[in-house]
Amino acid sequence: MDLAIIDQSKPGVPEEQIKLVNDVLNYAGKYLSLPENTEMSVTFVNNDEIQRYNREYRGLDKATDVISFAIEDDGDDLPLLIDDEMADDIAKNIGDIIVSVDKIGEQAEYLEHSYERELGFLVVHGFLHLNGYDHMRSEADEKIMFDLQREILDSYGLKR
Report helix, strand or coil for 11: coil
Q: In this structure, how many other beta carbons lie within 10 angstroms of the beta carbon of residue 30?
A: 12
Q: What is the DSSP letter of 59?
A: S
**φ and ψ at residue 50, rounded to 5 degrees:** -70, -30
113 is in an annotated binding site: no
Q: Can you tell me the distance from the alpha carbon of 48 to that of 112, in angstroms, rounded to the nearest whole number?
A: 24
Instruction: Look at residue 85 and give its three-state secondary structure.
Output: helix
CA–CA separation, 4 and 37 (whole Å): 13
* CA 141 to mean position of chain CA atoms: 17
Binding-site positions: 125, 129, 135
Binding-site positions for Zn(2+): 125, 129, 135
